[in-house]
Amino acid sequence: MQGWFVVIIAIAYVTLLFAIASLGDRRSTTSGSDRARPFIYALSLAIYCTSWTFFGSVGLSSERGLEFLGIYIGPVLVFVFGFPLLRRIVRLAKTEKITSIADFLGARYGKSFAVAAIATLIATVGAVPYMALQLKAISGSVSLMVEHYTGSPPSFDPFVSDISLVVAMLLALFAVLFGTRHADATEHQDGLVLAVAVETVVKLAAFLAIGLMVTFLIFGGPGDMVDKLAENTQVQQAMGYRTSLATWLVLTCLSGFAIIMLPRQFYVTIVENRSEAELRTATWVFPLYLVAINLFVLPIALAGLALVGTRTSSDLYVLSLPLLSGHDVLAMAAFIGGLSAATAMVIVESVALSIMISNDLVIPLFVRRLLKTTTSENEDWSALILNVRRAAIFIMLFIAFLYYRESTDSARLSSIGLMSFAAIAQFAPALIGGLIWRGANGRGAALGMVAGIVVWSYTLLLPSLAASDTGIVVHGLFGFDALRPQALFGTIAEPLNHGVLWSLSINTLFFVLGSLSRA
């Protein structure tokens, strides 16, 4: 197989998604009720499973055993036990024609522009590392495939011709074509949802195929695998890792927040929902999907430790195992599965964020000023709104590409994803408070989110961009040891737990104080 054939396959796959989305749009205009719609909707929710799931969970499991399950416990609990909450959010969103999580937060506080705008900025900043994660996964998998078949990694110009930049722009183009056709953001994007559902099936089938290959082709079954891996030192270390209770709680809470508040999750779960029946179907289909796609994470991780070791990144064991064992067809299936996981996330996330940027930030800031000076009160702003969204998509993906290039190379896919989860968690006090506390107000929500994201930026984002021996990381801001980003005021904890603890604590404090204050 020629190395560059891999790149052609990647481009062809994105083109196929284009065709599937077109088919979905045509079906929606020619057919009425669709019996498959509840299952298409439920499968689209598995956009939660990105390349972090496909590649990163295996990488994390190779070091920390079962800790990868933490980011799935929260979503399962929300969908199994949280149906009343989900139904309430859907009903509120439909009643008030909500188009995004930022719109929802603003509506909870009297249609507050400040709350919606701050939420939009936080969501955008938090999404950049997450989209960069997908670009890193795509770039790494393409490079591994090409190097395996040609004997050398793909050679690109240091900037312009980077394969991840090409992929980012192709994904941006696809998102623009199918996510920015109508200014009315409440209109359902049936083609996009169908394409995401198809990608969901593809990545599950690919991951299960690799898992079965490892279990029954590389080894002679589960029993043979256990016997042959039991004496491996690295396997013993991974299985012997003990995740702290604090980490389990943090992972469960972050993932529970994320399954509702991530822009793409809110979009597919709330905005694209058409009926309560669809939501009920999702309460059992989605948790079952999460169980299925994680069945072989641990076997693949342990097999990778024993058979691949350090020859490739553990994040790429899913791809390197079939390559090294000579199963080219399965290797291509793994590549397509990982590509599916990454492309679905980037496309829907960028569409959801572009709606937030146009509706909750740019349009309120600039168009209202134009309306004051224009002589026409009925001017159609649809073209401007769509152009803002299109520009936002390309800019966001380019910034994600820059973050991917500048972030520390040693960062695991899972650590990048969790950092984004922690950013989105800054919505939690305002969202929960807006639903259950009558005394909560927009001032408190805005102050809390701003304070929280500032602390998040200092404790989590900064260390991800700076070298570990940078002065501010080692000695703290202005040389004050108490202000070390990963040990504020002497707090000793894992970096993620530390950042989440401080950012959400400060967020909640400012939210409560701001709500209790009187202008």
Please indicate, yes or no, whether residues 446 and 319 belong to a single structural domain of this protein. no
Coil/strand/helix, residue 141: helix
pLDDT value, residue 158: 44
Give the residue-averaged pLDDT of 56-72: 92
The total number of structural domains that make up the chain: 2
What's the CA gap between 190 and 200, in Å, rounded?
A: 15
Q: In terms of domains, do 242 and 379 share one? A: yes
Interatomic CA distance for residues 348 and 269, integer angstroms: 12
- Which of 363, 386, 419 is the last residue in one of the domains? 419
d(CA 265, CA 250): 19
Distance between CA atoms of 416 and 252, rounded to whole angstroms? 17
As a whole number of angstroms, the distance between CA 258 and CA 239 comes to 27
Any domain includes 286: yes
Count CB neighbours of 12 within 10 A: 10
Q: Give percent of the chain with pLDDT exceeding 90.
A: 44
Q: Worst-scoring range by mean pLDDT, 158-162, 209-213, 259-263?
A: 158-162
Considering the domain boundaries, does residue 470 fall inside one?
yes
Are residue 285 and residue 246 in the same domain, yes or no?
A: yes
Domain for residue 426, yes or no? Answer: no
Task: Give the tens place of pLDDT for each residue, 386-399.
Answer: 888 999 999 999 99
Confidence of residue 160 (pLDDT cuts 50, 70, 90): very low
Task: Give the position of tokens 């990454």.
Answer: 342
Helix (H) or strand (E) holding 153: none
Phi-psi region of 65 (alpha: psi -120 to 50; beta: other; left: phi over 0): left
Tokens 């937060």 identify what position?
105
Token pair belonging to 126? 């938090």
Q: Is residue 425 part of a domain?
A: no
Residues with Cβ < 8 Å from 420, sequence gap 6 or more? 126, 127, 129, 130, 133
Q: Which two tokens stand for residue 475?
A: 């000695």
Percentages helix, strand, coil for the chain, rounded to the nearest 5?
80, 0, 20
Q: Which of 56, 17, 207, 258 has its CA nearest to residue 140? A: 56
Which of 419, 446, 467 delimits the end of a domain? 419
Percent of the chain at pLDDT > 70 equals: 88
Task: Say yes or no: 481 and 340 in one domain.
Answer: no
Quick one: 20 and 106 in the same domain? yes
Q: Is the model's pTM score more than 0.85? A: yes
Helix, strand, or coil (residue 486) = coil
Q: Is 424 contained in some domain?
A: no
Convert the pLDDT of each residue in 284-299 to its tens digit: 999 999 999 999 999 9
Residue 183 has pLDDT above 80, yes or no: no
Count the neighbouring beta carbons within 10 Å of the beta carbon of residue 472.
16
Closest CA to 4 of 159, 150, 161: 150
Q: How far apart are CA 169 and CA 175, in angstroms?
A: 10
| φ, ψ for residue 285, nearest 5 deg | -70, -45
Of the candidates 380, 381, 383, 403, the residue with the CA atom closest to the CA atom of residue 391:
383
212 and 92 both lie in a single domain: yes
- The per-residue pLDDT for 489 is 78
Q: Which of 364, 288, 303 is nearest to 72 (CA)?
A: 288
Smallest Cα–Cα separation from 254: which of 110, 78, 380, 404?
78
Residues 81 and 130 in one domain: yes
Which tokens go with 439? 């005394």
Return the DSSP state at 154: P
Does 171 lie in the same domain as 302? yes
Residues 368 and 493 reside in one and the same domain: no
Structural domain ending residue among the three candidates 419, 452, 473: 419
pLDDT in tens, 231-286: 888 888 888 889 999 999 999 999 999 999 999 999 999 999 988 999 999 999 99
- Look at residue 302 in the predicted model and tell me its pLDDT: 93
Helices (H), 308-381: 317-324, 328-357, 368-373
Residue at 466 is within a domain: yes
Q: Say if 427 falls within a structural domain.
A: no
Q: Are residues 208 and 357 in the same domain?
A: yes
The answer to whether 40 and 21 are in contact (CB under 8 A) is no
In terms of Cβ atoms closer than 10 Å to its own Cβ (0-12, 13-18, 19+), residue 343 is buried
What domain range includes position 486? 437-519
Looking at the structure, do residues 56 and 186 belong to the same domain, yes or no? yes
Residues 76, 77, 78, 83, Cα dihedral to 10°: 100
The CATH number of residue 134's host domain is 1.20.1730
**Summary mean pLDDT of the chain:** 85
pLDDT above 90 (res 455): yes
pLDDT tens digits, residue range 299-340?
999 999 989 888 888 889 999 999 988 888 999 999 999 998
Nearest one of 266, 269, 261 to 421, comparing CA atoms: 261
C-alpha span between 412 and 215 (Å, rounded): 25
Same domain, 386 and 454: no
Residue 373: pLDDT band by 50, 70, 90 thresholds? low
pLDDT digits (tens, 9 = 90+) for 105-128: 999 898 899 999 999 999 999 998
Q: Six-digit token pair at 374?
A: 């224009």
**DSSP H helices in 65-182:** 70-81, 83-95, 101-108, 113-150, 163-179
Q: What is the pLDDT of residue 149?
A: 74
The alpha carbons of the chain give a radius of gyration, in whole angstroms, of 23
Close Cβ partners of 260 (under 8 Å, ≥ 6 residues apart): 78, 86, 89, 266, 269, 431
429 lies in a domain?
no
